Structure 1
Amino acid sequence: MEASSSAWIVILLGIAAANLPFVNERLFGLIPVSRERKPLWMRLLELIVLYFLVGLVGYLIESRIGNVFSQTWEFYAITACLFLVLAFPGFVFRYLRRHRQ
């Protein structure tokens, strides 16, 4: 796999994973929740877990391409902020858009 195409795979996976907690009422899109609506704390916890899963996929792809570069805390702070920015459309869809009643 070429480095450019693998970077796009990680970006598209990040966009999908960041919006997943906000577009459905199941935990990780698979497990039904006993409540009618998922609470915000559960969506945020799901968002954190998905951030680490996307990071793991990126790490595995990077290790298959070649050398894995060591990262410092700045890298993780920037990628966490980027993941939150990617989650913004799902957040707007769930909480800020006016739904018909």
Structure 2
Amino acid sequence: MSQSVSIWLLILLAFVAANLPFVNQRLLTVVPLKAPVKNLAWRLAELLFWYAVVIGIGMAMERAVGQNQSQGWEFYAVTGAMFLTLAFPGFVYRYLVRRGGR
């Protein structure tokens, strides 16, 4: 797989993972919750979890190509902002289009 394809695949994975907390009512898309509607705190915790998963997959892909580059706080700030931007469609669907998850 070329580097260009792997980068686009990682961006697509990030887009799907960023929207997962907003499109279902299960914890981490597997565990059913007792409450009928998942609150925003659970969704933000899931968003942080999926961000860590995507970063881990990206680092594994980087290691497969060569040696990992050490990253500073700037890298995580930029990728975190990008992840939040990718989560915007799911947030709009859940809280603005569907009127509070009804």
Between the aligned partners of 1:43 and 1:73, the Cα distance in structure 2 is 24
Name stretches of at least 5 consecutive residues in structure 2 with no aligned partner: none
Q: Is 2:46 the partner of 1:46?
A: yes
Extract structure 1 runs of 4+ deviating beyond 6 A.
none
Superposed, 1:88-99 pairs within 5 Å as 88-99=88-99
Tell me the TM-score normalised to structure 1 length.
Answer: 0.94
CA deviation profile, 1:52-99 (whole Å, cap 9, x unmatched)? 000000000000011211111101000000000000000000001145
Partner of 1:66: 66
Shift of 1:15: 0.1
Tell me the TM-score normalised to structure 2 length.
Answer: 0.93
Partner of 1:36: 36
Aligned amino acid, residue 70 of structure 1 = S
Q: Could you tell me the percent identity over the aligned residues?
A: 50
Equivalent pairs counted in the alignment come to: 100
Q: How large is the Cα RMSD of the aligned pairs?
A: 1.1
Shift of 1:20: 0.2
